[in-house]
Amino acid sequence: MAEISRERWISRSSFVMAAIGSAVGLGNIWRFPFVVYANGGGAFFIPYFVALFTAGIPLMMLELGLGLKFQGAPPRALFKANPKAEWIGWWAALTGFVIAAYYAVVMAWCWNYLFHSFTLGWGVEAEAFFFKNVLQLSPGPGQLSGLVLPVLIGLVLTWIAVFLILFKGLGRIGKVVMVTVPLPIILIVVLVIRGVTLPGAANGVNFYLAPDFSKLLSAKVWLAAYSQVFFSLSLAMGIMITYASYLPRKSDITNNAFMISLADAGTSFLAGFAIFSTLGYLAYVTHIDVSKVAVGGPSLAFVTIPIAISKLPFAANLFGVIFFLTLLTLGIDSLFSLVECSLGAVLDRWGITRKKATFAICLAAFLIGFLFSTGGGLYWLDIVDHWINNYGLVPVGLAEVIVIGYIFGASRFRKIINETSEIKAGKWWEIMIKVVTPAILIISLVISFYQEMQKPYEGYPAWSTFCGGWLVVIGIVIIAYLLMRSGKSMKENVNL
Ligand code: PHE
């Protein structure tokens, strides 16, 4: 495909919105507030901002630069940086594809809860409702116990939505993100206002923000900050590379990188008030300590918050609807950004139409999602997520900084960034990319691996973590390599 035919964003703002939409996702609501709380409260903002400026933003600049300069989704962009690095691009895109397959299942749960909100269907036994009624959880990963119909229906809705948004191309994406990015942020503001006007809210917020500076001495806290930053900015999945590849060649990099990253951090900060004021209220009405009700992840979104919603003084259903609509609109643009990355890779490589490619990818991810929609699905989702986050994203990020920092050359790449950027990247950027980011990534890789060897993750049987964990992350690398090997067309297609 000639470069002239490359699709373009309809405006700079649609690119910025789409990138913010990818970054701002479920993680901002169910991960960030809890991570802050568990890692020193207000004091955590120090490691968080250090991580943002020493690794998050530099890597964001790198990814935007890769996409912009080389005008391709990850495999092509990395191929152009160094022909031997093409497989790293496939690695990123395939990792993103696997995440899409299970992220969509979480969205399916959200759909269910959106409908249950109208009647506060979770009743008084919210925990049993989530695990027994909605997920129909089996005793362990060995028992799949068949497909769970309500989840499957949610999954169908999710994939239809993603297909309809993506198949028409960037024009439609640009329009969709004008709604799906501001809407959840406005809804979060509504939830904050509701939250802080409830009794007990101040106590909850106090738990969120009260600084414990002694925690800053713990390496664990610093690692938590770096991993939160990477995850939240949707880095190392090739998304930012793909999105930037649709920008006109003269586009700014640094400014955009700062804008996207700070918008994401700001939304996380705001979401913390919504969550913790509500937890404060829950603690107040149930006479249970905030520390006992504070959890992260699915239990927060699908158990604890629903309980709090049921106990609201008025319009509980309305706030239920608002909360789950927030999750759906937060999640959808993160999900389609992941799919767009695989899609971009496929379109760069094989000259098929966008519509066909979108259909094939959505269908494939939908079918993989069946595994996560069974009675044992939650276990598999948890295992795959853990391995992908620790042994998928981290090594991909590491590979990216090594290729650019050492093989392509950090100073050469910095010049490329500065060619089109208003704010110039200083020498500091090279130090971050060559030293700080790789060091942090290696340390976190070693620590996770060490912990893995100490005890089985969440007590799952070894065969299940082998299949859902190691086999998946290693399988991806092998497929990525084979795709590169089979890829004569890449060379023919690329205009160097
Ligand atoms: N950045 C998203 C969030 O904070 C997470 C995400 C993960 C997005 C994977 C895309 C892909 O929720």
Mutate to test the pocket of ligand 1, among 231, 232, 241 (most ligand atoms within 8 A of CB): 231
Rg of the chain, C-alpha, whole Å: 22
334 in contact with ligand 1, CB cutoff 6 A = yes
26 in contact with ligand 1, CB cutoff 6 A = yes
391 in contact with ligand 1, CB cutoff 6 A = no
Asked if residues 308 and 278 have their Cβ atoms less than 8 Å apart, the reply is yes
Ligand 1 centroid – CA 477 distance (Å): 21
315: left (phi over 0), alpha (psi -120 to 50) or beta: left
Task: Please name which of 52, 43, 95 lies closest in space to residue 74, comparing C-alpha atoms.
Answer: 95
Question: Rounded to whole angstroms, how far apart are CA atoms 285 and 246?
Answer: 51
Instruction: Give the Cα-Cα-Cα angle 165, 25, 347 (nearest 5 degrees).
Output: 40
Ligand 1 atom closest to the CA of 233, numbered from 1: 1
Closest C-alpha residue for ligand 1 atom 6: 234
Residue type, 92: A
Strand partners of residue 147 = 374
Ligand 1 centroid – CA 356 distance (Å): 25
SS3 of the chain: helix, strand, coil, percent, to 5: 80, 0, 20
Task: Please name which of 428, 439, 443, 447 lies closest in space to residue 57, comparing C-alpha atoms.
Answer: 428
Q: What is the pLDDT of residue 488?
A: 59
The structure tokens listed for 239 are: 């998304």
In tens digits, the chain (496 residues) has pLDDT values of 445 578 999 999 999 999 999 999 999 999 999 999 999 999 999 999 999 999 999 999 999 999 999 999 999 999 999 999 999 999 999 999 999 999 999 999 999 999 999 999 999 999 999 999 999 999 999 999 999 999 999 999 999 999 999 999 999 999 999 999 999 999 999 999 999 999 999 999 999 999 999 999 998 899 999 989 999 999 999 999 999 999 999 999 999 999 999 999 999 999 999 999 999 999 999 999 999 999 999 999 999 999 999 999 999 999 999 999 999 999 999 999 999 999 999 999 998 999 999 999 999 999 999 999 999 999 999 999 999 999 999 999 999 999 999 999 999 999 999 999 999 999 999 999 999 999 999 999 999 999 999 999 999 999 999 999 999 999 999 999 999 998 754 655 554 4
Q: What is the pLDDT of residue 2?
A: 44
Question: Rounded to whole angstroms, how far apart are CA atoms 49 and 189?
Answer: 23
Asked if residues 65 and 409 have their Cβ atoms less than 8 Å apart, the reply is no
Torsion of Cα atoms, 372 then 375 then 376 then 380, to 10°: 10
Ligand 1 centroid – CA 237 distance (Å): 9
State the distance between the two ends of the chain, measured CA to CA, in whole angstroms.
12
326 in contact with ligand 1, CB cutoff 6 A = no
